């Protein structure tokens, strides 16, 4: 995608910051994906909601937070959801809970201030298929949860109806067969198209 000078400057700053992190802590998000995220985060306004499915080890939240800071969007609310399934499988087996693990990583490694006055970063330990969520107030939805066809279908079914009119849905790992099939079906059914892509990440704007 073609990026503006401002997006290029912010992305460069974020990429430089990523390189200051220990190799194991670096978010698995490529420079082209950071540019795409920056492009859309810059379109958010005061108290808009950026919601992510799949907090994982917090790398993407760290990027969202950093972009919000650099782009003067510190009052954007970031809500990130994970059911802890990867943590149960691959996380430490020393009794640490996922909630403690992720809040510790976000604050100590990524410098995220967990609670900002009036807005903030909210980590929700929940299953995206069982959320009780009524409002249509998600402005930017980042889907990076289960990467199976059924998982992505489920997230589209449960979460996309809560995206505000004109809001954007970003799918990570579109190069994976199950993700691509679910996204392509969704686009076909809704008559939508990919608005932008960066690396293996694609963005779709809702009507």
Ligand X SMILES: C[S@@+](CC[C@H](N)C(=O)[O-])C[C@H]1O[C@@H](n2cnc3c(N)ncnc32)[C@H](O)[C@@H]1O
User: What's the min distance (Å) between Cβ of 5 and ligand X?
Assistant: 27
Nearer to ligand X, 142 or 193 (CB): 142
Collapsing DSSP states into helix, strand and coil, what is residue 143?
strand
Strand-pair category, 119-125 with 77-82: parallel
C-alpha pair distances (Å), 97 with each of 57, 90, 101, 105, 112: 13, 13, 6, 12, 19
Nearer to ligand X, 57 or 186 (CB): 57
User: What's the min distance (Å) between Cβ of 139 and ligand X?
Assistant: 18
Q: Which residues contact 44 (CB under 8 A, 6 or more apart)?
A: 50, 73, 76, 139, 140
Token pair recorded at residue 113: 């201030």
Nearer to ligand X, 45 or 64 (CB): 64
User: What's the min distance (Å) between Cβ of 57 and ligand X?
Assistant: 4
User: What's the min distance (Å) between Cβ of 22 and ligand X?
Assistant: 14
Q: Which residue is nearest to ligand X (CB)?
A: 56
- Tell me which residues touch ligand X (CB under 6 A): 27-28, 53-54, 56-60, 81-86, 127-129, 144-146, 151
Token pair recorded at residue 20: 């200051």
User: What's the min distance (Å) between Cβ of 156 and ligand X?
Assistant: 12
Nearer to ligand X, 55 or 70 (CB): 55
Nearer to ligand X, 45 or 87 (CB): 87
- Edge-first strand listing for the sheet containing 201-205: 115-116, 119-125, 77-82, 49-53, 138-143, 163-171, 201-205, 194-198
Nearer to ligand X, 9 or 17 (CB): 17
User: What's the min distance (Å) between Cβ of 158 and ligand X?
Assistant: 9
How would you classify residue 23: left for phi > 0, otherwise alpha for psi between -120 and 50, otherwise beta? alpha
**Rg, Å, the chain Cα set:** 16
In sequence order, the β-bridge partners of residue 142 are 52, 170
């Amino acid at each position: 995608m073609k990026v503006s000078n401002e997006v290029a400057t912010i992305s460069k700053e974020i990429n430089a910051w990523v390189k200051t992190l220990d190799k194991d802590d670096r978010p698995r998000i490529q420079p082209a994906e950071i540019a795409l995220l920056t492009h859309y985060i810059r379109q958010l306004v005061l108290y808009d909601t950026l919601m992510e499915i799949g907090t994982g080890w917090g790398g993407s939240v760290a990027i969202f937070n950093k972009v919000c800071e650099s782009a003067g969007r510190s009052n954007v609310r970031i809500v990130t959801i994970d059911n802890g399934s990867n943590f149960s499988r691959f996380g430490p087996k020393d009794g640490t809970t996922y909630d403690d693990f992720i809040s510790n990583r976000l604050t100590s490694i990524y410098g995220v201030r967990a609670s900002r006055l009036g807005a903030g970063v909210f980590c929700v330990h929940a299953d995206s298929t069982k959320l009780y969520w009524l409002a249509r107030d998600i402005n930017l939805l980042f889907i990076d949860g289960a990467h199976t066809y059924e998982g992505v279908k489920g997230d589209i079914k449960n979460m996309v109806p809560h995206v505000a009119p004109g809001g954007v849905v970003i799918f990570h790992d579109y190069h994976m067969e199950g993700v691509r099939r679910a996204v392509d079906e969704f686009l076909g059914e809704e008559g939508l198209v990919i608005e932008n892509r960066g690396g293996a990440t694609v963005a779709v704007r809702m009507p």
